[in-house]
Amino acid sequence: MSQFAPLIAAVTRHRGVQACLVVADEDGILVDGTAHVGVSTSAFAALTASLYRKAARAAESAGFGAVTYFELEAERGRVMAAGRNGLVIVAVAEPRVNVGLLRVELVRAAEGL
Amino acid sequence: MIRHSVMVGWADGPLKRYVDDARLQFTVLMHRSGQVLAQHGFQSRMDVQTACALSAAINATADSLGTMIDGAPFRGLHYAGAARQMHLAQLHVGDGVLLLLSVFDRESSLGIVQLYLDELHAALAASAPADEDAPPALAEDFERDLNTNLAALFGKR
């Protein structure tokens, strides 16, 4: 069990969460995580880390400082991510998930990264 | 004898797509011997020749070192520099092994490169010429084949 297991468990406990991954934001490599069958974790990790990096650069260019949280809403689900210390914790969730609660959980989990 | 064909051209399409998807700066596909098959981003034939020779040497070294230390060849290499990173992969295509050198900066990442490498691998396997349709790479023809391929990629400069 990795040091991130309690953080991942806290996020996946929420109803509607399909995957929770800890990813290195610079290289997009999966560090730890858990996912339902059907979620391609390594591909997802690489692409989400890339999104997070670009969001961070956009925020920096706009003079907004560091990105603490970002959310992507799609037709059949949501991707939510929070990062710190070169790591990003990402949750993949169904549309019915309680967004507010999950956001609080992710931001809290990111403090433990 | 190196079993794989030395024809250039067949890998250009898949490699172009890989470069675009993975946002690479340079890439070169070659035989394990260092014989170039396709490239993107290099401006001169000498640079390609050097990159191929060094990549083939790195691969041979990792093979031998891995066998000596761990009982099996080391596969794949990633090096992160200050501004650029390189990734050297082995691709089993047909009955041969090809090497792919990929160079990227902060626009991409190791995870992205590995992700699109799988797609490239499948595309190369689908478009590789059959052995009977293409001349095999023979050690005695190495220099002639190398010059032919570099001329095809860069013209006779």
Number of domains in chain B: 1
Span A25-57, pLDDT tens digits? 888 999 999 888 777 888 889 999 999 999 988
Q: Two tokens at B64?
A: 């031998």
Task: Quote the pTM value.
Answer: 0.78
Q: What is the CA radius of gyration of chain B?
A: 15
Angle between the B12-22 and B110-127 helix axes, to the nearest 10 degrees? Answer: 160
Q: Kindly identify which residue of chain A lies nearest to residue B118, measuring between CA atoms.
A: A43
Chain B residues with CB within 8 Å of chain A CB? 80, 106, 108-112, 114-115
Band the pLDDT of A87: cuts 50, 70, 90: very high
Structure-model confidence comparison of residues A1 and A99, the more confident one = A99
Contact: B109, A23; criterion CB under 8 Å: no
Determine the Cα–Cα distance for residues B21 and B116; give it in Å rounded to an integer.
Answer: 7
CATH classification at residue B21: 3.30.450.30
The chain-wide mean pLDDT, for chain B, equals 85
Angle between the B45-70 and B142-154 helix axes, to the nearest 10 degrees? Answer: 130
Please list every residue in chain B whose beta carbon sits closer than 8 Å to the beta carbon of residue A50.
Answer: 108-109, 111-112
ipTM here: 0.75
Burial class (CB in 10 A: 0-12, 13-18, 19+), B4: buried
Span B24-55, pLDDT tens digits? 999 999 988 888 899 999 888 889 989 999 99
Q: Two tokens at B32?
A: 């394990």
Please list every residue in chain B whose beta carbon sits closer than 8 Å to the beta carbon of residue A30.
Answer: 111
The boundaries of the domain holding residue B70 are 2-154
Determine the Cα–Cα distance for residues B118 and B44; give it in Å rounded to an integer.
Answer: 28
For A5-111, CATH gives 3.30.450.30
Give the DSSP letter of residue B69: H
Q: CA B115 → CA A53, B83, B87, B118, B119, distances in Å?
A: 17, 21, 13, 6, 7
Q: Kindly identify which residue of chain B lies nearest to residue A26, measuring between CA atoms.
A: B109
Q: Show me where the domains of chain A are located.
A: 5-111
Please list every residue in chain B whose beta carbon sits closer than 8 Å to the beta carbon of residue A29.
Answer: 110-111
Determine the Cα–Cα distance for residues A7 and B36; give it in Å rounded to an integer.
Answer: 47
Among A21, A25, A26, A27, most B C-beta atoms within 10 A, so best to mutate, is: A27
Among B21, B104, B115, most A C-beta atoms within 10 A, so best to mutate, is: B115
Q: List b or e across A19-51, with b for residues whose CB sees 16 or more CB atoms inside 10 angstroms.
A: bbbbbbbbbbbbbbbbbeeeeebbbbbbbbbbb
Determine the Cα–Cα distance for residues B145 and B21; give it in Å rounded to an integer.
Answer: 30
